[in-house]
Amino acid sequence: MKKNEVLVLEAFDTTLEGYGVTRHSDLVIFVRGLLKGEKARVKVIKTYKNYAIALIEELLVTSLKRVAPVCEYNLKCGGCCLGHLEYEEQLVLKKHYLESLLIKNGLDLAVKDTVASIPNLRFRNKIQVPVQNGKLGFYRAHSHDIVEAQDCKIQSKNAGAIIDFLRPHVINNLKLRHIIIKEAFKTGEIMVAFVSLAKEDEYLKTLALKLKDQFKMITSIIYSYKYQDDNVILGDEESILYGKDHIVDILEDLKFKISLKSFYQINPYVTPLLYEGALERIKDLESKNVLDLYSGIGTIALFAAKKAKSVLGVEIVKEAVLNAKENAKLNHIKNVDFVCEDAKDNLKKHLKGIDVVIVDPPRKGLHQDVVELLSKEGIKEIVYISCNPATLIRDIALFMERGYQADYLRGYDMFPHSKHIETLVVLSKLKTDKHTKVKLGMEEFDRN
């Protein structure tokens, strides 16, 4: 197989990254944008030891599942790699992906149908736009090159208009690294942040005032100063150029303050479904004490607290914990508290008297100490929300080795058209509890 070789190939599968899987002799060739069942004349662009990558030159057989791409930058910008696949099929693909990952890891678990995002366009309440070498746009897949996509269809109209307004003013600003826009879809409040390597920027200060005059929904403009030119997006020091240091959003019947540094789920259409799905799995929540690890601004914790006996949230980002405490007050919820800590640090102490633990870790999944302690302390119910199926399945396997059963595995399509999946699973300890055993007089059967 050589670079630039032209072949006619048929895809027998589609990957989550939107590549058609084809075979030529003994080699697997991934064809960008080719769907299962499609045939195309393709050109090989890269060869590796065991596989090659090719691009479509001409589509010869078209799948019925192919649709007009969500936008003209489809497959160029790294975001919507599935934008040319019918939305219902994206949901099926994500379910199959979870199933195949489970099989690869030797786990025999059923996966429920993926929960759809309605709508599946203009759902993002946050965008982070890199500014680099006179360009402002989105990253190309597997690269730090910028594609200057205009009117990205998964971002809001407001965010697009703000970026268009800012583009000519900031495009040649050599110290500006990112523009971040956070929008509260329910209240309409918008935060704009300039992340820059310059300690101060008089031009951006003036621009901020023009910006807020132009867009009345903007209630917060923040300057975020970054000490170092590294891969971290957010800066180290913040100052307010206009308005407040946060925006307020409403999810169902609860209000949430959100600061620049605080995490907030990016798809407000799917978020309530995910939280509801998670909390519905907990039986007799009214009588339970809940620990919410990786609690962010306290979203899940506060929804849980409306029913539960008590909730404690643990979160490492100081600003998020401050938001969470204020959010409890804002919603007059009293049976909840938050601490700013690494989830693993005081876990043993926090687990005293806890009946159920909710975890929602970042992409790297749970720290091994967290898995160990939750199982050692005999936590009977763990509701696990994950934004990375690979680490989720690694952790499910660890819990299963420690006497847990996993149920209700379900993907939530928080990120339509992209390769990402949010997943929920419920883990329950199989061991009969001591109380039941004593009652039944079966202590001798306790093999754990």
Q: Catalytic residue numbers?
A: 387
Residue 82 as a binder of ligand SAH (CB under 6 A): the answer is: no
Q: Write down the least CB distance from residue 292 to ligand SAH, Å.
A: 7
User: Between residues 134 and 362, which has the closer beta carbon with respect to ligand SAH?
Assistant: 362
Residues with Cβ within 8 Å of 439's Cβ and at least 6 positions away in sequence, in order, are none
Only one of the segments 148-156, 159-167, 187-195, 316-324 lies at the binding site for ligand SAH (rule: CB under 6 A); that segment is 316-324
Instruction: Spell out, one character per residue from 234 to 273, where the chain touches ligand SAH: x when CB under 6 A holds, - when not.
Output: -----------------------------xxx--------
Strands of 404-412's sheet, edge to edge? 111-115, 404-412, 422-429, 381-386, 356-359, 289-293, 310-315, 336-340
User: Between residues 148 and 345, which has the closer beta carbon with respect to ligand SAH?
Assistant: 345
Residue 395 as a binder of ligand SAH (CB under 6 A): the answer is: no
Residue 320 as a binder of ligand SAH (CB under 6 A): the answer is: yes
Residue 11 as a binder of ligand SAH (CB under 6 A): the answer is: no
Residues with Cβ within 8 Å of 224's Cβ and at least 6 positions away in sequence, in order, are 180, 193, 194, 195, 196, 234, 235, 236, 237, 238, 260
User: Between residues 220 and 299, which has the closer beta carbon with respect to ligand SAH?
Assistant: 299
Residue 342 as a binder of ligand SAH (CB under 6 A): the answer is: yes
Nearest to 257 by CA among 310, 192, 185, 184: 184
Strand partners, 337: 312
Strands of 126-132's sheet, edge to edge? 135-136, 126-132, 176-183, 190-196, 218-225, 237-243
Instruction: Spell out, one character per residue from 203 to 222, where the chain touches ligand SAH: x when CB under 6 A holds, - when not.
Output: --------------------
Residue 233 as a binder of ligand SAH (CB under 6 A): the answer is: no
Q: For tokens 């030797």, what's the residue?
A: 106
Only one of the segments 21-29, 139-147, 194-202, 315-323 lies at the binding site for ligand SAH (rule: CB under 6 A); that segment is 315-323
Residues 377, 378, 381, 386: what is their CA dihedral angle, to the nearest 10 degrees? 50
Strand partners, 22: 29
Interstrand relation of 404-412 and 356-359 (parallel, antiparallel or unpaired): unpaired
Alpha-carbon gap, residue 55 to 436, rounded angstroms: 62
Q: Write down the least CB distance from residue 413 to ligand SAH, Å.
A: 16
- Count other C-beta atoms under 10 Å from residue 36's C-beta: 17
Q: Tell which one of 185, 294, 303, 404 touches ligand SAH (CB under 6 A).
A: 294
Q: Tell which one of 249, 319, 326, 360 touches ligand SAH (CB under 6 A).
A: 360
Residue 295 as a binder of ligand SAH (CB under 6 A): the answer is: yes
Q: Long-range contacts: 210-213, Cβ < 8 Å, 24+?
A: 211/162, 211/165, 211/166, 211/242, 212/242, 212/243
Residue 286, classed as helix, strand or coil, is: helix
Q: Write down the least CB distance from residue 331 to ligand SAH, Å.
A: 15
Q: What DSSP designation does 373 have? A: H
Residue 184 as a binder of ligand SAH (CB under 6 A): the answer is: no
Q: Tell which one of 119, 188, 353, 362 touches ligand SAH (CB under 6 A).
A: 362
Q: Tell which one of 38, 89, 315, 319 touches ligand SAH (CB under 6 A).
A: 315
Binding site for ligand SAH (CB under 6 A): 263-265, 294-296, 299-300, 314-317, 320, 342-343, 360, 362
